Amino acid sequence: MRFGLHGLGIGSGSRPEIIDVTARQAERRGFGTLWCGEHVVMVDDSSSTYPYSDDGRIAVPATADWLDPFTCLTYAAAVTSTIHLATGVVLLPEHNPVIMAKQAASLDRLSEGRFRLGIGIGWSEDEFDALGIPFAGRAARTADYVHAIRTLWRDDPATYDSRYISFHNIRVHPKPTQSHLPILGGGNSDRALRRVADWGDGWYGFNLDSMSAVRDRLHRLTGFCTDDGRDIADLHVAVALRTPARADVAELTDLGVTELVLVDAPPDSPDECINWVDGLADRWIP
């Protein structure tokens, strides 16, 4: 079991001095991964239901600073040398997959192979509308983009032709440092787990409300993997609980969870951030 920290890129976690000290101290204290999420657009009154809370509303205010996750994680990569970096998650159907392939590979190069690309299909129709991207069909578009990105990372020159993206005999460099840069699927629904089994190298279960929910979701994911002739043990399984308890770690390990992600907002000052990271490490990391 490794422990991740999901707190950079938003609010106080968007400030350079907070990213610097948090990343350095998290690495020093043995955290395995720094996670950073994405929203390009936020609205005051969403017409869509946020799927990771009981009231259907996201806790982050629309006025909060929210960094581009690749920029944030590249900054963190520059001040660290061993801790892994992951998007948790980037909303893939909102992006051009050729540009995304270059962004992800560039971060993997600059971090010397420490990056994981966590992706989701998105939930906010308002965001898609603002970007001029169809909200309908985003799951199919995501799967197509995943295959296109892997083609670009693998082939040189690369050719891909599908309903959503086509390119012929193009070269996109750099290639990732890792021979197989992992792509993790986010989302807790049956459909999200089905997508992970279909094309994912791992799963990021976010803001699960109980250990019972973890057991249920892993049971479903195991079944989908079996249907596809895959072994869930080959996946990187990261979960974030709403109210994690130290006593849960043993069961999470037995369930095959690779990483417990702690979701918390960093304090406003660098000195407080050191104490914050130390407090989390003292509680969670053996």
Find, among 256, 35, 47, the residue nearest to 135 by Cα.
47
Coil/strand/helix, residue 197 = helix
Is it the case that residue 4 has pLDDT exceeding 90? yes
Find, among 103, 86, 87, 109, the residue nearest to 33 by Cα.
86
Query: Residue 207: its pLDDT value, please?
Result: 96
Is it the case that residue 189 has pLDDT exceeding 90? yes
Residue 132 inside a domain? The answer is no
Query: Residue 269: its pLDDT value, please?
Result: 96
Coil/strand/helix, residue 66 = strand
Residue 69 inside a domain? The answer is yes
Is it the case that residue 214 has pLDDT exceeding 90? yes
Q: What is the mean pLDDT of residues 155-174?
A: 98
Residue 107 inside a domain? The answer is yes
Domain range for 7 is 2-39+63-122+139-284
Of the chain, the percentage scoring pLDDT greater than 90 comes to 100
How many helices (H) and strands (E) would you count in the chain? 9, 11
Residue 229 inside a domain? The answer is yes
CATH number at residue 258: 3.20.20.30
Residue 182 inside a domain? The answer is yes
Q: What is the mean pLDDT of residues 208-229?
A: 97
Residue 176 inside a domain? The answer is yes
How far is residue 228 from each of residues 79, 138, 194, measured CA to CA in Å?
Answer: 40, 22, 10
Q: What is the mean pLDDT of residues 128-156?
A: 98
For the stretch 274-283, contacts whose Cβ atoms lie closer than 8 Å and that sit 24 or more positions apart, written own/partner, are 274/21, 274/25, 276/22, 277/5, 277/22, 277/25, 277/26, 277/29, 277/31, 278/25, 278/29, 280/5, 280/29, 281/26, 281/29, 281/30, 281/31, 283/246
Query: Residue 286: its pLDDT value, please?
Result: 84
Residue 15 inside a domain? The answer is yes
DSSP 68-133: -HHHHHHHHHHT-SSSEEEES-EEGGGS-HHHHHHHHHHHHHHTTS-EEEEEE----HHHHHHHT-
Is it the case that residue 175 has pLDDT exceeding 90? yes
State the average pLDDT for the chain.
Answer: 97
Q: What is the pLDDT of residues 65-107, one digit of tens each?
A: 999 999 999 999 999 999 999 999 999 999 999 999 999 999 9
Give the number of other CB atoms < 10 A from CB of residue 140: 14
Residue 178: Cβ-neighbour burial (10 angstroms; 0-12, 13-18, 19+):
middle
Instruction: Report pTM.
Output: 0.97
Query: Residue 108: its pLDDT value, please?
Result: 98
Residue 25 inside a domain? The answer is yes
Q: What is the pLDDT of residues 8-51, one digit of tens each?
A: 999 999 999 999 999 999 999 999 999 999 999 999 999 999 99
* Domains of the chain: total: 1
Contact 127, 94 (CB under 8 A): yes
CA gap 193, 34 in Å, rounded: 23
